[in-house]
Amino acid sequence: MAVIAPFRGLTYDLNTRQDFSSLVAPPYDVISVEQLAALYEANPHNVIRLILGKKKIGDSDWDNQYTRAADIFKRWETEGTLIRGTTPSLYVTSLTYDPGNGDSNCTRWGIIALVRIEEEASGIILPHERTFSAHKDDRLKLMRACSVQFSQIFSLYEDPENRVMEVCRKGLSDNPHVSFPLQDGTLHRMWVLQDPSVLKKVTEAFRPKILFIADGHHRYETARNYRNIMRARHGKKPVNRSYEFAMMYLTNLDDRGLTILPSHRLIKRSPDFRIKPFLKTMGEWFEIRKIPLTEKGLSSDAMAFRTAISEAGKNRSAIGFFFNGADSGYLFSLKEGIRKEMGSDLHPALQKLDVLVLSRFILQRALGFRKEDLDDEEIFQYQSSVKFALSSVKSGDFQMAFLLNPTKIGQVRKIAGLSLVMPRKSTYFYPKVLSGLVFNKIDPHEIIQTP
Say how far apart CA 373 and CA 19 lie, in whole Å: 43
Say how far apart CA 426 and CA 422 lie, in whole Å: 6
Specify the pTM: 0.91
- Sequence letter at residue 182: L
Burial label for 377, CB within 10 Å (0-12, 13-18, 19+), is exposed
C-alpha atoms less than 13 angstroms from C-alpha of 426 in its C-beta half-sphere: 29
For 447, residues 6+ apart whose C-beta sits below 8 A from its C-beta are 238, 240, 241, 242
Strands (E), 120-244: 125-126, 148-149, 153-157, 178-181, 187-193, 211-215
Reduce the DSSP state of residue 334 to 3 states and report it: strand
Say how far apart CA 236 and CA 244 lie, in whole Å: 9
CB atoms within 10 A of CB 216: 26
**How far is CA 276 from its chain centroid?**
37
Residue pLDDT tens, the chain, 451 long: 899 999 999 999 998 878 999 999 999 988 888 999 999 999 999 999 999 999 999 889 899 999 999 999 999 999 999 999 999 999 999 999 988 755 668 999 999 999 999 998 888 998 877 766 777 899 999 999 999 999 999 999 999 999 999 999 888 988 999 999 999 899 999 999 999 999 999 999 999 999 999 998 889 999 999 999 999 999 988 889 999 999 999 999 999 899 999 999 999 999 889 999 999 999 999 999 999 887 778 889 999 999 999 999 999 999 999 999 998 999 999 999 999 899 888 999 999 999 999 999 999 999 999 988 888 889 999 999 999 999 999 999 999 999 999 999 889 888 888 888 888 888 889 889 999 999 999 999 999 998 6
The 8-class DSSP code of residue 362 comes to: I
Tell me which residue of 180, 179, 208, 161 sits closest to 4, measured CA to CA: 208
